[in-house]
Amino acid sequence: MNSLNLPLDPQLDDRERTHEERVGEKRLLVYLLESGLVVQAQLPVLQYDHEMTGKSFSEILIDRGWVRKQTLDFLVERVIIPEQRARQRRAQQSKQRMQPISALGKQYLEQKKQRAAEEVKWTFD
């Protein structure tokens, strides 16, 4: 593995790579395309090289001299990872805010019981 958490072993078959590695690499390509560091015309060559050599896309980009390793490292460390962490935090926060209806019903009943217990019963003597 390199600093991009992508396999460096050219013999490593795509099926042996984890889902995260494949998804991470696809995201990296999207960022490279959006930034103009890679153009659409390079994608068929990239795919062909990947199929022929088994190398990861990032390795091919570096080997062909299309992108420097430092550029990929910077993009991953300063853009992709912070963005993924922010996305995970937002997902966690929304998960915490959302409760199943059954939990809300139980919470409502508990609050109703508590109010009834706290209610002072008035009597006239």
Phi-psi map region of 121: left, alpha, beta (phi>0 left; psi -120 to 50 alpha): beta
Q: pTM surpassing 0.75?
A: no
Residue 28 clears pLDDT 80, i.e. is over it = yes
C-alpha 8/C-alpha 1 separation (Å) is 5
Over the chain, what is the mean pLDDT? 77
71-122 pLDDT tens trace: 999 998 998 888 888 888 888 877 766 666 677 778 888 888 888 777 666 6
C-alpha 1/C-alpha 7 separation (Å) is 4
CA distances in angstroms from 106 to 95, 97, 98, 114, listed in the order given: 18, 16, 15, 12
C-alpha 109/C-alpha 116 separation (Å) is 10
Pair 80, 31: CB distance under 8 Å:
yes
User: What is the CA angle 41-46-50, rounded to 5?
Assistant: 160
